[in-house]
Structure 1
Amino acid sequence: MKNVRNSRTAPSGDDSELTYSELNFAAASQNSTIHTSAEPETTYAQIAVRSQSAQPNAGSEVAPGKDQRQQETAGGTNSKKSRCLGLVALLIIISLFAIIIGLTVYVLQLTQDFSEAKKEQRTLRERGDWLNASLANSVRNLTEMSGRFQNISETLSQSRQKAISLCATLRNMSDSLCPSGWKLHNHSCYRFSIATENWDTAKRECESLNSHLLIINTDQEQNFAIKSMPDKNKQYFIGLTDRGSEGNWKWVDGTPVSKSHWLKNQPDNWNGDEHCGTVSKVDGEDVFGWNDVPCSMEFPFICEKLAPSSIGAAAFEKYCP
C-alpha cells in the first residue's frame, strides 16, 4: 500500500493551529504467509501519527479579525476589573479583620472592666456587710450597756434611799449617845456646868469625864456655845490660856488659835494676871466674845468630847445627803 500524506489545518479561535500528522500506510510484507482458506485475510496498514509544531508557518499565518481583537480587549478589561475587585475584596477583608480585632479588644476591655467593677462591687458589699455587722454589734452592746446603766441607776437609787435611812438612824443614835446632861452639836457632846470652879479645877474635872475644856474652831461652834449657856450673864471658862508665853494664846491641846472671837480691847492682861480665857457678855449689851481673866477666879465651865458614835460632822456632810 502506498503512503498517503495528508495535511489539514484545524480552525481555531486563537492563534494556534492544529495540524494533523501525516499518515503512512505500509504495505504488507511480501513474505507474509498467504492463507489459502476461502476466507480472505484482512491486513491493517501501519499508521504513524506525528504532531507538527504548534507554531504555524509564516505562510499559513492568518491575521486576527475584528471579533478576535474585541475579544482580546474585553478579556484585558475583564482582567483589570477582576484585579480591582480582588483588591477591593482584600481591603474589605482586611477592614473586617481590623474591625473584628478592634471589637475583640473592646469586648475584652469591657469584660476586664466589668470583672474589676464586679470585684470592686463584691469588695464594697463585703465591706458594707462588715460595717452593718459592726453597727449591729455596737447597737447590741449599747443596748446591753443601757440596760446595765438602768440597773446601776436603780441600784444607786436604792442605795441612796438606804443611805438616807442609815444616816437618819445614825443621827438619832448620835443624839441619844451623848451622856445625860450633855448636848450634841456636830457629833460632839458639850456639858455646861452649873457649879463654879477655877480654871485648873475645871480642866481636871473635864478630863475626869473623858473630855476637855471647850476648844472653839468655827463660828458655828462659838454660836452654839453662846446659845447653850444656861446663864448668859455669867462667864464660862473655855480651854484657852497664854501661861506658856504671854500674849501667845493656845488651846488646852496645844494648838494655836486659828480664829479668834475676842471682845473689843481684849485681851488686856489687866494687872498682869489674866492668863485664862472665858466666853463672856458685855455688860448692858447683847454682845458675846472672849475675855481674859485670872485663872484663879471661879466660873462655870464648858466641857467637850466626841460623841460615842465616833462619827464626825465632816463624815455626815460627806456621806449623808
Structure 2
Amino acid sequence: MESEVYYVNFKKGDINNSTGPQTQSQGQDDGKSQKSMRFGRFCNPQGSRSLVLITVGLGLICVLLLVFVILQHIIITAERDRIKSYKNTVKEFNQTISGLQDNYTDLKTEKDQLQNNFRSLSQQILELESQVRSLKDELNMDASERVCLFISNELNWADSRQYCRDHGGDLLIINTEEKQRFIFSLVEERVWIGLSDREQEGNMKWVDNSPLNEGFWLGGEPNNQDGNEDCVELIPSHPVLNSWNDLPCSKMKKGICEK
C-alpha cells in the first residue's frame, strides 16, 4: 500500500500561535505530572504498609522493654526478699545455737550437781546399811548383853562418870565393832566414853578396869598432845571405825552412860 503524504501549509503567525499555546499546555502537563509523581510516591500503598510495620515493631520493642523492666524489678525484689529471709534465718539459727549452748552449760552444771548428790546419797546409803547391820546385831543380842543407854549433862570426864553412876550406870564401854557401830549410829555430838589412861600414861583401861583390846581411833590418835590428854571422846562426824580421840579430861561435854 502506498503511503499517503499530507501537506499542510501554516503561516508564520500560525506556527508561533500554535507553538506558544502548545508549549504552555505541555509545561502545565509536565508540572501536573511531576506533582502527580511526588504525590504518588507519598501515597504509595507499599510505603504506608512499611510505616505501619515499623510503628508496630517499635511498639512491640517498647512492650518487650517494659516487660523486661518489670521482670527485672520482680527478680530484684524476689532476690532482695530471699537475701532478707536468709539473713533472718541465719540470725535465728545463731540464736538457736546460743540457746543450745546455754542449755548445754546448764545441763552440764545440773549433771555435776546430780553426780555430787549421787555420791552423797551413796555415802548415806552405806552409812544407813551400817546402821541397819548394827541394829540387827543389837536385836540379835541376848537379853543379858543388851544395855540401857542415857546421856549425862555437859560435864568434865570425871563428873560425867559420877553422873552415870548416880543414875545406876557408868560411862559406856565399847569392846566390839558391832557395839561401836551401834553407838555411833545413835549419837549426834561429841561425847565421853568410859576409856582413859589417867592411872598410867599409855595404858588405856575401861571404867570396869578391863584393858583396851580393840580401838577405833582417828588417824594419829591417841597422841597425848601437850602431855595432858588422858580421857577419850567419840566424834560422830568422823568415819564410824575412826572416831575416837584423846583430850584433856577437864573438857566440858556430855557423856554416854550405860547400865
Same fold (TM over 0.5): no
Give TM-score, length-normalised by structure 2: 0.42
The TM-score, its normalising length taken from structure 1, stands at: 0.35
- Greater RCO, CA 8 A, separation 6+: 2
The structure with the largest alpha-carbon Rg is 1
* Greater helix share, structure number: 2
